[in-house]
Structure 1
Amino acid sequence: MDLGIKGKKAIVCASSKGLGKACASSLVQEGVDVIINSRNEIDLKEIQTELSLLKAGKVDYVVADLNSEQGRDNLISSCPEADILINNNGGPPPGNFLEMEKDQWLEALESNLLSAIMLIKSLLPGMQERKFGRIINITSAMVKSPH
C-alpha cells in the first residue's frame, strides 16, 4: 500500500513492543524515516535491527522516559522536524476506580495526556509551517475499562 508518505520523518513513542512497534514497522515499510523510543536501550537496539531489515525507511532510536520533560526534550531534539507523531505511552496499572488515590490519577494524566500535549505543542508549529503533519494519539485500554 502506498500512503504517499515516503521520505517523511516520524517519531513513534513507546515503540519497543505492541502498538508502538507495529506503527513503527508500518511506517518504515512505507519508506518513512522513523525515530523509535523506549526507556530500554537493549529493546530499542533489537527493534532497530529488526526494522532496518525492511530496507525502506531509516530507523534510529532515542532512550527517553516520556513522563519527564527532559525525556520529551531529548526525543524532540532527535527529530525536530517530524512530519508524523505517534503518541503512545504505558497506561496506568489496573486498579479499582473507587480506590485510586489522587496521586495515581495525576500520574495517569501525566503519562497519557500531558506528555502527548507537550509533544504536540513542540512539533505542531513546524507541521503547520510545512503544511503537512499527522498526529495519532494512542492511549491505554485501562482508560476505557478500569476495574
Structure 2
Amino acid sequence: SFTQKIDTHKLYKKENNSISFQMNYINDIASNYIHNLEETLLKLEEGSYQENNHSPYNKKLLKINQQKGIVARIPIGSLTNNIFLQDRGPSFSIKYKTLSLTSSNINKKIKNYGINHLAISIDLNVTIVLQILVPLYHEHFKENYTIPLVYEVIEGEVPSWYQN
C-alpha cells in the first residue's frame, strides 16, 4: 500500500523564531514509500499482487497482476499501417520489467506569506524507470511524480513597526 499515516507535526519543529526540518522522519517516509513502490512493481511482474481495496486504480493493477506485468496486447496487423489490417492477426504482448531504478528526493520550501505568516511545503519527488518489453524491441520508461507531504501556513508575530 502506498498510503501511510504521516504525522505532519513530526515533519518540522517550530521553536522561537526558527523552523527546523526533521530529516530522519522525512527520510523514513521517503524510504518506506520507495520500498512499497518497488515491492508492488515486483509483485505485479511476478503475478503475486493481492491488494483488496475496490478503487478503479487497484482493479487495473489486479488485471496487470493476472497477466504478470503485461500492460497491453497489440495485433500484428497494427504494424502494417493499413487501416483494413489494423485489428487482424495474432497479438503480441507489451510487458514491463522492473529495473530497480526507483529513486526519490525531498524538496523543502519556506517562504513568506503575508505580513506575519510562513508557508512551509515538503514534497517527495519520485522517479520510476521501467523497461518496456516488446518482441525485438525494448525501451525505457522514465516518469517523475511529486507527492506533497505537507503544505502548511504558520502564523508568526506581527512586527511591532507595522503597528506604529
Looking at CA atoms only, which structure, 1 or 2, has the larger radius of gyration? 2
Determine which structure has the larger helix proportion and give its number. 1
TM-score by length of 1: 0.26
TM-score by length of 2: 0.24
Q: Which has the higher contact order (CA 8 A, sep 6+)?
A: 1
